[in-house]
Chain A
Amino acid sequence: MTTTQTVVPPRPVPATTAKPETKSHLTSAARAERRLGWMLCAPAVIVMLAVAAYPVAYSVYLSLQRYDLRFPDQAKFIGLGNYTAVLSSPYWWDALVNTVIITIASVAIELVVGMALALVMQRTLIGRGLVRTAILVPYGIVTVVAARSWQFAFTPSTGYLSKLLGNGAPLTHHGSALAIIILAEVWKTTPFMALLLMAGLALVPDDLQNAAKVDGATAWQRFTHVTLPLMKPAILVALLFRALDAFRIFDNIYILTSGGHDTASVSILGYDNLFTGLNLGIGSAISVLIFVCVALIALLFIKGFGAAAPGADLRN
């Protein structure tokens, strides 16, 4: 921390009272700023590296081992054996398909509903605070609590919605259970999407809307030709955050079906292999594969972002 890459002036510049802003003064100030910057960031960086980077490396290492907690003395290096086991298992592919279905369906529905909600919040003149407070309830509520509410709502004879999908137990059929999982996910996270989109809407200048109106554009044309293109960065950011979040779906499925009736997501599969199967090797291989999927999704989006990648304004 004491060594810096700053080029030190060859010899001390004599201090003059006439020119206080000499080069040496600037350099030492810049150096102090640098040192302060590193000092202030050090605790955050150390925590993030110790608790995120190191375990990730460790889980890659674990994924190359045969490591079953029931037979710890049989642990040994088996190369890519765990990956072959996972990738040739139908459970992995079923879980991946479920996760992709849930991610695409919930993010698509959230985008449409969230956009409508953002427009409602922006246009509303009466009770604006009330609507915003109302939509923050699903955002803030504990996911497990919301999932329990949906679970009981669809429990035969107990729930007010149980008769909605015919008589029977909707949470015990693959299709209806997946639909309920998506519903729970959409209810919980549409507000977040709507708030991000609303902030994007605020960046669309009124003048452009009015100009388009004078030119005779209908409300729909104004929306598709003026609002949407200008909102593209905000939409991409919202989609990225939500897609990555939906891909790691766990709480809702754990409560609603525990992954039964072929509704497991990749996170549920990883959890089950670790805590039910007690197989650290396989569990770690699944974890690493999920990480790779998430990285791929992020890469795909960031290609779409270009210069508008999130956090761009925070970079140098």
Chain B
Amino acid sequence: MAITTKQKIGWSTANLVVILVSFVPVLWIVSLSLKDPSTITDGSFWPRKWTWENYSGIFKTSEFTHALVNSIGIAIISTVLAVTVASMAAYAIARLRFPGKNVIVNTSLLIAMFPTISLVTPLFNIERSLGLFDTWLGLIIPYVTFGLPLAIFTLSAFFREIPSDLEKAAKVDGATPFQAFTKVIAPLATPGMFTTAILVFIFCWNDFLFAISLTSTVRARTVPAAIGFFTGNSQFESPIGSIAAASVIITIPIIVFVMLFQRRIVAGLTSGAVKG
């Protein structure tokens, strides 16, 4: 089928619109973060007077630097835990025959659809009595739980793409099923695990409701929560510049992931859900 010039122009315009609409809100927050405080309310899309002040300002406050350390630490630990636990379950679901598999698939599905607020209320009370409130662990626990269904679904899709002949060959060579999993399948599944890790990390990095409900100080408050509560460097300063700068900083890792691993993220997002 030949493609006419008219069609080419049509699709290219559509592409351009998509790219513009995706980037405009991001560019706007970048622009705000670079605006000099005196020009922040000028309503112009681009900064008329540039400055790095907003960035140097937020790095002087413990409110932001602590939050950044908390965000990075909590997201990485939660991701590693969720992917490790999920990869075992996903392998079992994708490959092994055992009674009770349905229960596990249904439970994961239920949790994936669970309204977060319904868990916030009881967790708030439980964590206060266990001394987990406002700690890293207090956030890691719900993140792992909600990351698990996402990780299990994505990973079982990846595991099923690995030819089962490989395990059979390993078993013929005398490997136990557990050895077949750790020595043969797990290494082959590394790309899938990596992709899953990115998706789970984005989920933890993004969370706001748990972050504002289960923390109260800089001890465990993450950047999204800090951005929600930011009051600026001093009470006389408008916090818009600071909020924008903090927003840009936590968007950088996302943009890097998206640029480097676009193909993997698309594959990961679509594999788990659509085959169902």
Binding site for B on A (CB under 8 A): 5, 30, 32-34, 36-38, 40-41, 43-45, 47-49, 51-53, 55-56, 58-59, 62, 116-117, 120, 123-127, 129-146, 148-150, 152-153, 155, 157-160, 162-163, 187, 191-192, 195-196, 198-200, 203, 233-234, 237-238, 240-241, 244, 247-248, 250-251, 254-255, 266-267, 270-271, 274-275, 280, 283-284, 286-288, 290-291, 294, 298, 308-316
Contacts and interface: CB of A to CB of B under 8 A. Distances in A.
B116 interface: yes
A280 B121 contact: yes
B131 interface: no
A208 B80 CA distance: 44
Most chain A Cβ neighbours within 10 Å, of B43, B109, B115, B202 = B115
A116 B18 CA distance: 10
Interface residues of B, number: 104
Interface of B: 3, 8, 11-12, 14-15, 18-19, 21-23, 25-26, 28-29, 32, 40-45, 85-86, 88-89, 91-94, 96-102, 104-111, 113-126, 141-142, 144-145, 148-149, 152-153, 156, 176-178, 181, 202, 205-206, 208-209, 212-213, 223-224, 227-228, 240, 243-244, 247, 250-251, 254-255, 257-259, 262-263, 265-266, 269-270, 273-276
A40 B117 contact: no
B145 A134 contact: no
Contacts of A248: 115-117
Contact of A124 (B11, B102, B113, B156): B11
A55 B115 CA distance: 13
A275 B259 CA distance: 39
A130 B258 CA distance: 11
B251 A44 contact: no
Contact of B273 (A143, A148, A196): A196
Given A59-B121, A310-B109, A152 B255 contact: no
Contacts of A286: 117
A251 B208 contact: yes
Contacts of A316: 97, 101-102
Given A5-B99, A310-B109, A160 B44 contact: yes
Nearest to B29: A149
A291 B110 CA distance: 11
Nearest to A51: B145
Contact of B97 (A30, A40, A142, A310): A30
Contact of A137 (B44, B117, B255): B255
Contacts of A200: 274
B262 A148 contact: no
A25 to B, nearest CB: 12
Contact of A315 (B15, B22, B102, B181): B102
A40 B120 contact: no
A18 B250 CA distance: 66
A130 B208 contact: no
B91 to A, nearest CB: 6
A226 B60 CA distance: 60
Nearest to A231: B274
Contacts of B85: 43-44, 47
Contacts of A237: 273-274, 276
The residue among A158, A234, A288, A309 with the most chain B CB atoms within 10 A of its own CB is A158
- Which of A32, A48, A298 has the largest number of chain B CB atoms within 10 A? A48
A49 B8 CA distance: 53
B145 to A, nearest CB: 4
A37 B145 contact: no
B266 A132 contact: yes
Contacts of B141: 51
Given A195-B270, A308-B276, A48 B92 contact: no
Contacts of A163: 43
A41 B181 CA distance: 14
Given A196-B274, A251-B208, A149 B122 contact: no
A158 B274 contact: no
Contacts of B121: 59, 62, 270, 274, 280, 283-284, 287
A79 B149 CA distance: 34
29 contacts: A40-B88, A45-B89, A48-B148, A52-B110, A59-B119, A131-B18, A133-B259, A134-B22, A135-B18, A137-B22, A141-B251, A142-B224, A143-B206, A144-B208, A144-B224, A149-B28, A158-B43, A160-B28, A195-B270, A196-B270, A248-B115, A267-B116, A267-B209, A284-B122, A291-B115, A294-B113, A310-B109, A310-B273, A311-B276
B107 A45 contact: yes
Contacts of B23: 134, 137
Contacts of A251: 208-209, 224
A150 B24 CA distance: 10
B247 A148 contact: yes
Interface centre among A145, A283, A287 (most CB of B within 10 A): A145
Contacts of B244: 148, 152
B232 to A, nearest CB: 13
B107 A137 contact: no
Given A142-B250, A254-B228, A314-B93, A59 B208 contact: no
